[in-house]
Amino acid sequence: MLDVLEHFMPEDSFLLLSLIAKGLKSSGKVIIKVPNGGSPWGMSYQMGDLTHKTAYNSESLRQVATACGLNVDTIYDQRRGSTRRMFTDAVVNKFLSWALLTPPPFWGANLYAILSLKES
């Protein structure tokens, strides 16, 4: 579900992921990509598309997955650009993490989540 979930209201996202969880095989995975609502870099993607209805950060992705009976295997942000760009991003993000009282856990513009069925 790359660039899909943010186009739904939270209750519809819950219904969609619940249906996917019901149809998922025991070894199956769900891959989600959303703009990172916890990062200032992701909010330009989130707010730049009027069809986006819900912003997600790592915690809200965990909440909706857990509510649907899914386990969050991993969440990570997307790193993009040249080596120089990634180095500059790392320096800026390190400084901002030091300077802000509550920095986001992920600075990248997009978040990926890999979900699986909870073990019974």
Tell me how far apart the 2 most distant CA atoms of the chain are, in Å.
Answer: 46
Residue of 105, 44, 41, 108 lying closest to 80 (CA atoms): 108
So what's the pLDDT on residue 89?
Answer: 87
pLDDT tens for 42-71 read 888 888 889 999 999 999 999 999 999 999
Q: Are 52 and 8 in contact (CB under 8 A)?
A: no
What are the chain's domains? 5-117 (3.40.50.150)
pLDDT, the chain, mean: 92
Q: How far apart are CA 93 and CA 39, in angstroms?
A: 10
**Predicted structure pTM score:** 0.87
